[in-house]
Structure 1
Amino acid sequence: MNLQTDYLRTFIALAETRGFTRAGRQVNRSQSAVSMQIKRLEDEIGKKLFERIGKTVKLTAEGNILIKHAMRIIKEHDDAVRALSKPDLEGFVRFGSPEHYTIGVLPKLLARFAAAYPDVVVEMRCENSDEIKADIERGELDVGICTQISDGGQVISHDPVVWVADPGFVMQRHQTVSIAVFEEGCIFRTWALEALEKSGISYRIVYVSRSISGLIDSVRAGLAVAPIIRSNAPADLKIVGLENGLPVLPVSNIVLHKTKKVASEIIECFSEHIIQSFGEKAQALP
């Protein structure tokens, strides 16, 4: 059995996007090429890896077994290539991200990139997604990750937005729910308010913060519930939803944008590190 890395990359992309067209965009291949590579991988293994559900696909039991190994194989392969390629890049890259993506994955990403490329300086800027996208289009940033709010960019990961609450939270019928939200301009705030209004749930904003730490502190204090991405939900808080009377929130599609004004090896290398790090994060989620 020979598991080719190209096929495994395509397999991972299809598992993440659940669609042949979206997977093709992620690995820069046509829909038919994605289908062909998955077929060859299945022939090599002798087992079906995906089940079709309408226009989407989901992993079979065998696919779920392979995905963990595939992620590890690709990571080890890429780490080996980087270790043997004698990093000689130098310069700087201007990078932007909303604050809710800077917790957890980005510190590790920046540390690993700095260790691999000590002569490259990463200038980081935290702004809302629409501002980051505009900065990239103006050439003020080289690379950015955003919550998908329009067309363009490369979807690199998905993270559901959830309500977090104090463990003792109980929502009474017809209760006005107290919520903590980001400042105006944050898409998570918009999604939360629209979902509550659509569900006919009365609410009041009791806490507004620029930072996710402020939201989490307000929830820990029992002041409110707050909408954050699932990967940022602390273990000491509970995720609440329909069973607690709160509406389901959208999934945050995390999109990578790169400047079209300047092409450089540094930008491409840093972008590859971002994609890899968010792939590892997705694998670690329950």
Structure 2
Amino acid sequence: MDLSSLDVFRAVAAAGSVTRAAAALDRAPSNVTTRIRSLEDDLGAALFLRDGKRMTLTAEGETFLGFALRLLALEAEARSAVRPGVPAGRLRLGAMESTAASRLPAPLARYHAAYPDVALELVTGTSRDLAARVREHDLDCALIAALPGEEGATGLDPALEAAPVFAEDLLLVAPPGHGAITGPDDVGPDTLAVLPAGCTYRALAEAWLQGGRAGRRPLRRMELASYDAMLACVAAGVAVAAVPASVLDLRPGLAGLVTAPIARLPTLLIRRKGYRSAAFEALKAMLAPSHQQA
């Protein structure tokens, strides 16, 4: 077992194919196949199920993937530690969908121009899932919203640390023609369009609406995959939704929707305690509120 073999294993697991992994790694397919077979022989376990050219992880492969990702992440941290002040290598950033769409395009464009030697990988997800992936070394850092009152001062797992970078105004959005909303009792539709469980904005909206539903039908949830789908349901009059104001600002054609403030809360840039890299520090500086105002 060596780090090069672990990187080959990671690539095949991600691509699901030796051919695609070989292309991504700029290796010959025969070399990739040999590496995988050698790794399986060394471990004494089959890591992949082979169905023609398709490669899917076995149960043992799923288990080993977690360890492989941690070892590769530690290698990247070690390289960064001996080259302080030089942003380079890979940086794996997670972000909420709303943040990726409304807050990141401009700063990430500046980051790429300033630090071309950094391979920045961006994935989206819910706050809860992103925090778990950072804790498990699957991501280096992430932008999340933490529920007030959760564990710790920022609502985080003790293994993580955070810095606020954005302030978001979370709005309840109702269909056009809905009356003014001064509180949860004024909300007409009994259906809340939501993102998957683990979304902080969903949890805040559910708690806010539940506070004014005495004597009414239970709140129904319509789980959707994106804010575009949620807003389409609101515009059609079948649901309400909780949406950051920055997301609505990207869609001026939806100006007729009725809105009411739910909460103002920070977006946090999180990392594992002890994680250090020049690439991360450069990103943190670029996302800092003082830089945004410059």
Asked if these proteins are the same fold (TM beyond 0.5), I'd say: yes
Matched residues in 2 for 1:230 and 1:174: separation?
18
Contact 2:195–2:225, Cα closer than 8 Å, also in 1? yes
Given candidates 211, 214, 223, the residue that maps to 2:238 is 223
Change (3 A) 1:120 1:193: same
Q: Which residue of 1 aligns with 2:125?
A: 127
For residue 255 of structure 1, give the secondary structure of its aligned residue in structure 2: strand
Distance in 2, matches of 1:192 and 1:262, equals 33
Q: Is the 8 A contact 2:87 2:282 kept in 1?
A: no
What does 1:70-149 correspond to in 2, within 5 Å? 89-149=87-147
* Alignment RMSD: 2.8
Question: Post-superposition shift, 1:104?
Answer: 2.0
In structure 1, the residue matched to 2:265 is 252
Q: Residue 240 of structure 1 corresponds to which residue in structure 2?
A: 259
Taking a change above 3 Å as real, the CA distance of residues 263 and 174 of structure 1, as seen in their structure-2 partners, is closer
Map 1:1-286 onto structure 2 (within 5 A).
89-149=87-147, 150-151=155-156, 152-170=161-179, 175-200=188-213, 202=216, 204-205=219-220, 207-233=222-248, 234-235=251-252, 236-237=254-255, 238-241=257-260, 249-276=262-289, 279-280=292-293
Q: Provide the secondary structure at the position in 2 that maps to 1:169.
A: coil
Q: TM-score, normalised by structure 1?
A: 0.58
Q: AA paired with 1:189?
A: R
Q: Pick closer, same or farther for the CA change 1:226–1:175 going to 2, 3 Å.
A: closer
- Taking a change above 3 Å as real, the CA distance of residues 170 and 135 of structure 1, as seen in their structure-2 partners, is same
Q: Tell me the amino acid that sits aligned with residue 125 of structure 1.
A: V
For structure 2, the 5+ residue unaligned runs are 1-84, 148-154
Contact kept in structure 2, 1:156 and 1:279, CA below 8 Å: no
Equivalent residues of 1:183, 1:208 under 8 A apart: yes
Q: Following the alignment from structure 1 to structure 2, what is the Cα–Cα distance between the partners of residues 193 and 110? A: 32
Amino acid at match of 1:136: V
Shift of 1:120: 1.2
Once the two structures are TM-superposed, the CA of residue 146 in structure 1 deviates from its matched residue by 0.8
SS in 2 for 1:249: strand
Note the C-alpha offset of 1:265.
Answer: 0.9
- Offset of 1:110 from its aligned partner? 1.7
1:239/1:218 CA distance change after superposition, 3 Å? same
- Per the alignment, in what secondary structure is the counterpart of residue 159 of structure 1? strand
Percent identity of the aligned residues?
23
Post-superposition offset of 1:223: 2.3
* CA deviation after TM superposition for structure 1 residue 102, in Å: 1.0
* Aligned residue identity for 1:113: Y
Q: Which runs of 5+ in 1 are unaligned?
A: 1-86, 242-247
SS in 2 for 1:131: helix
In the alignment, is the contact (CA less than 8 A) between 1:163 and 1:240 conserved in 2? yes
Which letter does structure 2 place at the counterpart of 1:120? V
